[in-house]
Amino acid sequence: MKPLMAVITALLLLGCCHISMASVQNDDDDIKGTYIVHMAKSEMPASFEHHTHWYDSSLKSVSDSAEIVYTYENAIHGFSTRLTSQEAELLMARPGILSVLPELRYELHTTRTPEFLGLDKSADFFPESDSVSSVIVGVLDTGVWPESKSFVDTGMGPIPSTWKGKCETGTNFTAGNCNRKLIGARFFAKGYEATLGPVDETKESKSPRDDDGHGTHTASTAAGSVVEGASLLGYATGTARGMATRARVAVYKVCWMGGCFSSDILAAMDSAIADGVDVMSMSLGGGMSDYYKDSVATGAFAAMEKGILVSCSAGNAGPTSYSLSNVAPWITTVGAGTLDRDFPASVSLGNGRNYSGVSLFKGNSLPAKLLPFVYAGNASNSTNGNLCMMDSLIPEKVAGKIVLCDRGVNARVQKGAVVKAAGGLGMVLANTAANGEELVADAHLLPATSVGEKFGNEIKKYLNSDPNPTVTIFFEGTKVGIEPSPVVAAFSSRGPNSITPQILKPDIIAPGVNILAGWSGAVGPTGLATDTRRVEFNIISGTSMSCPHVSGLAALLKAVHPEWTPAAIRSALMTTAYVTYKNGQKLQDVATGKDSTPFDHGAGHVDPVSALNPGLVYDLTVDDYLSFLCGLNYTAAQITSLARKQFSCDSSKKYSLNDLNYPSFAVNFDSTGGASVVKHTRTLTNVGSAGTYKATISGQASGVKISVAPETLRFDQANEKKSYTVTFTGSKMPMNTNVFARLEWSDGKHIVSSPIAVSWT
């Protein structure tokens, strides 16, 4: 079986490693599949001493052979089990059963960022001692490489007394692998094994150990210790550090070679809640169905009730519209932007023209002369030979030459391995229209560089016009100060929100391109089986990488403001995010080359120093979210599945999705009607000094008139709350028209900013 990292790398390097969750059930009535059973705990008959006895009795009433895989105590009330489709239908009819949902499979959605975010100049703002060290970040991923220097516990005090978790023993992992930094490590494989059979312990560790790299990378990004002299093969040399270097880390291994199964994810969330984590970081996907059907959304609801902020990646399905996942309003959804750092490697042609590209290749350089150059499509008998698929190149036409391959389908680094196997000396990898000008650097196995679509097309013209084309590649190391930056990554998933259009997502963007962080010692930097190199740090890209940035920043804010709710922390991050560069120009989208929009960047790019003192926040309680569910017209059973308690919507009350106290605005007009009016009510809580805030609307918003009442809010004391209403008066506009604006409240010291997206559907 292919190592999971190879599969993920293939997907990641195509810009699509966060895949929509998929059912793993079989329609054959005799075939068993895994189901997650939600129970109405309050309906347990008095004859049962404990709810687990009731669960077991309910299961045995429909199947003599079925056994409980997991019992869930915190994330949901219920259990998971293996049933045929007929048995599942019978169980659904039993008393106290809220739902019987099929198992879903999820996939994983990787030095410079502390400086880029301003944390290097802000040590005085963020305490790095007792308060931060009491915060625990739980990371649900592929596990951890505990020997990584990112998890050294030098100078850390005793483990917080709030911690109830443990360090589990398994293949190549003992309790001794944990320390005062890495305070917990668990693994969850029962759901995986129920579907795919036993974990092959000769290929991956049945333990918290990370044989893949992804989990170590995300955990060290969120809260890795300070490591001097870090680099990948000499690239991005400097001091590596997580966002919250003094926070504690607890890892929960839920992803295996065969994927990440919802029964395992839910069990990990269940444990993380009980263990006492403060922040839950999940760089994996799903979440593109109703919230009560999505295990991440249901588990996150329970975590939110316990005061745990849940940060999730938005997905890597951009720049397609409606491609977001993890969009529940109680989840902080994170998209990806670039850094101001690059790894240039230029292409020099025989005609004297030079074209810039990027590469992380480190090894024997090319000979100091121009070499023969060939297009892969002309050196293959395959119809898609231009893609440099496995065994597609003709060695006699490739040997001793540099090969131009087109990007697409298979992993970028794998294309280089194909060229090398056929005797090629190097590779130029050209983007097609699918990826445009977005460049992601790779630790290639042979001298290689990636170029954008425009340069790729010009290089192909040269190849087609010169009878004896030649080329060489120059590797220029690491460069910083690249402008403009950040720009929204093309792969970053985009809005609008396909489940609840009234909630603008993503919430925010953070660094997610070419991120240096810790790595597993079990695989090479490319994840390919043929890559025998071993590195302590790796540079990879994806919303998987931007998510733990926000998770770590949330931990810092939690340490400074322990009384803040998850909604308050998210609000502080969102309302202080920026959408313009220092020169006043708007953030750019690499996919279009134009200004990015709130559907791309949400509230904007995270600015942690400003988030520390936001002035005002938009707070939310559990009751607010319950009212939101009523506004979705969820049934009592569906709400109970999420809330884990009996709750009925008030039939005499009119619930409006527009009134959820969210730090952003998504307004939807019917394009088939005439002029219409939509109102949104919000409440601001003062978390700063006394002051008077005035509202202003900025940005072009043709087709809609926006007014705020009242236009001035006076706050005299801490935690004081004031409400206001925004009225949107829309004129008739064509279907699929989107316009954007921004609402700002300012007292002269703080700017509390909210994005506005207005759509005609």
Q: Which residues contact residue 168 at a Cβ distance below 8 angstroms, ignoring those fewer than 6 apart?
A: 175, 185, 186, 187, 207, 208
pLDDT digits 0-9 by tens, 227-260? 999 999 999 999 999 999 999 999 999 999 989 9
The pLDDT of 470-476, averaged and rounded, is 96
User: How buried is 709 (Cβ within 10 angstroms: 0-12 exposed, 13-18 middle, 19+ buried)?
Assistant: exposed
Phi and psi, residue 516, nearest 5°? -90, 125
What is d(CA 305, CA 201) in angstroms, rounded to the nearest whole number?
37
**What mean pLDDT is reported for the chain?**
92
Q: What is the 3-state secondary structure (H, E, C) of 360-417?
A: CCCCCCCCCCCEEEEEHHHCECCCCHHHCCCCCECHHHHCCCEEEEECECECHHHHHH
The pLDDT of 723-742, averaged and rounded, is 95
Cβ atoms of residues 555 and 311 within 8 Å? no
Cβ atoms of residues 287 and 296 within 8 Å? yes
Cβ atoms of residues 252 and 188 within 8 Å? yes
The one catalytic residue in 56, 141, 507, 619 is 141
Quick one: pLDDT at residue 671? 84
Predicted structure pTM score: 0.93
- Tokens 């396909």 sit on residue: 498
Please confirm, yes or no, whether 141 is among the known catalytic residues: yes
Query: Is the pLDDT score of 746 beyond 50?
Result: yes
Quick one: pLDDT at residue 513? 94
Give, in order, the Cα–Cα distances in Å from 585 to each of 209, 580, 757: 45, 5, 19
Cβ atoms of residues 633 and 625 within 8 Å? no
Quick one: pLDDT at residue 2? 37
The gap from C-alpha 743 to its chain's centroid, in whole angstroms, comes to 27
Q: Which residues contact residue 194 at a Cβ distance below 8 angstroms, ignoring those fewer than 6 apart?
A: 34, 69, 82, 263
- Band of pLDDT at residue 120, cut at 50, 70 and 90: low
Please confirm, yes or no, whether 214 is among the known catalytic residues: yes
The pLDDT of 453-473, averaged and rounded, is 97
- Band of pLDDT at residue 434, cut at 50, 70 and 90: confident
DSSP state of 98: E
What is d(CA 333, CA 310) in angstroms, rounded to the nearest whole number?
9
Phi and psi, residue 272, nearest 5°? -60, -40
Q: Coil, strand or helix: which one is 474? A: strand
Q: Which residues contact residue 685 at a Cβ distance below 8 angstroms, ignoring those fewer than 6 apart?
A: 568, 616, 617, 618, 619, 719, 720, 721
Q: What b/e string do you get for 312-343 counting C-beta neighbours within 10 Å, with b at 16 or more?
A: bbbbbbbbeeebbbbbbbbbbbbbbbbbbbbb
pLDDT digits 0-9 by tens, 505-543? 999 999 999 999 999 999 999 999 899 999 999 999 999
Quick one: pLDDT at residue 5? 40
The gap from C-alpha 396 to its chain's centroid, in whole angstroms, comes to 44
The pLDDT of 602-610, averaged and rounded, is 96
What is d(CA 108, CA 749) in angstroms, rounded to the nearest whole number?
41
Q: Residue 232 carries which side chain, given as an amino acid letter? A: L
| Tokens found for residue 332 | 């902080």
* End-to-end alpha carbon distance in the chain: 46
Quick one: pLDDT at residue 17? 38
- Tokens 């809220």 sit on residue: 98
Quick one: pLDDT at residue 287? 57
The one catalytic residue in 109, 214, 561, 750 is 214
Quick one: pLDDT at residue 409? 86
pLDDT digits 0-9 by tens, 247-300? 999 999 999 998 999 999 999 999 999 999 999 999 998 656 799 999 999 999
Quick one: pLDDT at residue 9? 35
What is d(CA 366, CA 472) in angstroms, rounded to the nearest whole number?
7
Quick one: pLDDT at residue 20? 34
Query: Is the pLDDT score of 459 beyond 60?
Result: yes
pLDDT digits 0-9 by tens, 654-698? 999 999 999 999 999 988 877 799 999 999 999 999 999 999 999
The one catalytic residue in 231, 262, 544, 759 is 544
Q: E strands, 12-96, where?
A: 22-23, 33-39, 68-72, 78-83
Please confirm, yes or no, whether 38 is among the known catalytic residues: no
pLDDT digits 0-9 by tens, 24-58? 544 455 789 999 999 999 899 999 999 999 999 99
Q: Which residues contact residue 729 at a Cβ distance below 8 angstroms, ignoring those fewer than 6 apart?
A: 675, 676, 677, 704, 705, 706, 707
Query: Is the pLDDT score of 21 beyond 80?
Result: no
> In the chain, what percentage of residues exceed pLDDT 70?
93
